């Protein structure tokens, strides 16, 4: 099934404080962010017309900007209002919002000093990352040769576009191997995450998840950890060796786009869609679909 290219759609995109026709939302080819990786972004899900945890996402967008040494010219409250207006303009019921910020084209030099910062917000309908079948049965992961870098070599606390080049390479590699997504280790060889989601293992009924010291401590990850605590599920955040996957009864991923995504296999080792994953998935769905505006 082919999809409509993202540069050829109807509607509007909020760009630098004003709405512009979707097809006219451009940046210059000599933008600093395009050449040197000076870009950050967020992903926000919309459920029944309501954005979920928008405040946390816009706060993280500003945190990412500080990590990359630039300042977003719109505060979280302004961005939240712009997002909600974008959702209204686009008529989004169940969808996805992409705020993005990047350095402008005042100069082409490794130094980013003196460049302007541009911000855009786009929204579109998007039910699931994977098919409904994969969402219910689970996906297959392929352990990648690419690794998450050390915190002293990359801005790992930022949702930086430059870091997602690793994810693109890993995901392409996984899909070429017949899998749905990639599993990345960190620079030390510990389990880290998937290309766009955090990792959880269920071992003897307890939840185990890698310590987020080389990758983002995802907002969905934090939400699921809180739900696990409410449900009385034991949680262990720690460094996890790859061979410990063989001890797991269940494996799942979490992310804004992924939600709670079961994993049915990693490199040929199979897992069941068990009670803990099911319980947390239902709890997360109940939270996102609640009448409370987030």
Q: Which of 155, 156, 166, 180 is nearest to 68 (CA)?
A: 155
What pTM was estimated for this model as a whole? Answer: 0.94
User: Following DSSP, what letter does each residue of 212-227 receive, concatenated?
Assistant: SSSS---HHHHHHHHH
User: How many Å apart are CA 265 and CA 138, to the nearest integer?
Assistant: 8
Angle subtended at Cα 83 by Cα 81 and Cα 88, rounded to the nearest 5 degrees: 95
> Which H/E stretch holds residue 122?
strand 117-125
Q: Count Cα neighbours of 57 within 13 Å in the Cβ-side half-sphere.
A: 24
- Go through the domains of the chain in sequence order and give each one's CATH number: 12-125 (3.30.470.10), 132-288 (3.20.10.10)
User: Following DSSP, what letter does each residue of 153-183 receive, concatenated?
Assistant: TS-TTS-BGGGHHHHHHHHHHHHHTT-SEEE
Structure tokens at 291: 């009448």
Secondary structure (3-state) at 283: helix
208: number of Cβ within 10 Å: 21
Between strands 259-266 and 139-148, the pairing is parallel
53 is catalytic: no
User: b/e map of 216-248 (b: 16 or more CB within 10 Å)?
Assistant: bebbbbebbbebbeeeebeeeeeebeeeebeeb
Structure tokens at 208: 């185990």
Catalytic-labelled residue, pool 103, 118, 148, 159:
159
Per-residue confidence in pLDDT tens, the chain, 294 aa: 457 899 999 999 999 999 999 999 999 999 999 999 999 999 999 999 999 999 999 999 999 999 999 999 999 999 999 999 999 999 999 999 999 999 999 999 999 999 999 999 999 998 777 777 777 789 999 999 999 999 999 999 999 999 999 999 999 999 999 999 999 999 999 999 999 999 999 999 999 999 999 999 999 999 999 999 999 999 999 999 999 999 999 999 999 999 999 999 999 899 999 999 999 999 999 999 885 444
User: How many Å apart are CA 98 and CA 9, to the nearest integer?
Assistant: 15
């Amino acid at each position: 099934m082919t999809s409509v290219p993202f540069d050829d759609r109807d509607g509007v995109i909020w760009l630098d404080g004003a709405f512009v026709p979707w097809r006219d939302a451009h940046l210059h080819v000599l933008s600093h962010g395009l050449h040197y990786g000076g870009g950050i972004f967020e992903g926000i899900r919309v459920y029944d017309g309501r954005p979920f945890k928008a405040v946390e996402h816009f706060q993280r967008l500003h945190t990412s900007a500080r990590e990359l040494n630039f300042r977003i010219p719109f505060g979280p409250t302004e961005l939240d209002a712009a997002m909600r207006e974008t959702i209204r303009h686009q008529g989004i019921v169940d969808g996805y919002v992409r705020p993005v910020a990047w350095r402008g084209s005042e100069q082409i030099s490794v130094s980013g000093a003196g460049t302007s910062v541009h911000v855009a917000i786009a929204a579109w309908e998007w039910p699931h990352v994977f098919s409904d079948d994969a969402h219910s049965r689970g996906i297959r992961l392929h352990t990648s040769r690419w690794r998450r870098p050390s915190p002293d070599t990359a801005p790992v606390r930022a949702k930086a576009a430059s870091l997602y080049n690793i994810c693109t390479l890993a995901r392409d590699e996984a899909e070429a191997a017949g899998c749905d997504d990639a599993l990345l280790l960190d620079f030390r060889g510990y389990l880290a995450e998937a290309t766009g989601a955090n990792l959880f293992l269920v071992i003897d009924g307890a939840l185990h998840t890698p310590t987020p010291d080389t990758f983002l401590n995802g907002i969905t990850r934090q939400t699921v950890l809180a739900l696990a605590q409410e449900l009385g599920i034991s949680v262990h955040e720690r460094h996890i060796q790859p061979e410990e996957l063989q001890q797991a009864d269940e494996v799942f991923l979490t992310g804004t786009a992924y939600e709670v995504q079961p994993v049915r296999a990693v490199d040929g080792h199979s897992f069941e869609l068990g009670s803990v994953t099911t319980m947390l998935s239902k709890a997360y769905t109940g939270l996102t679909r609640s009448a409370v505006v987030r």
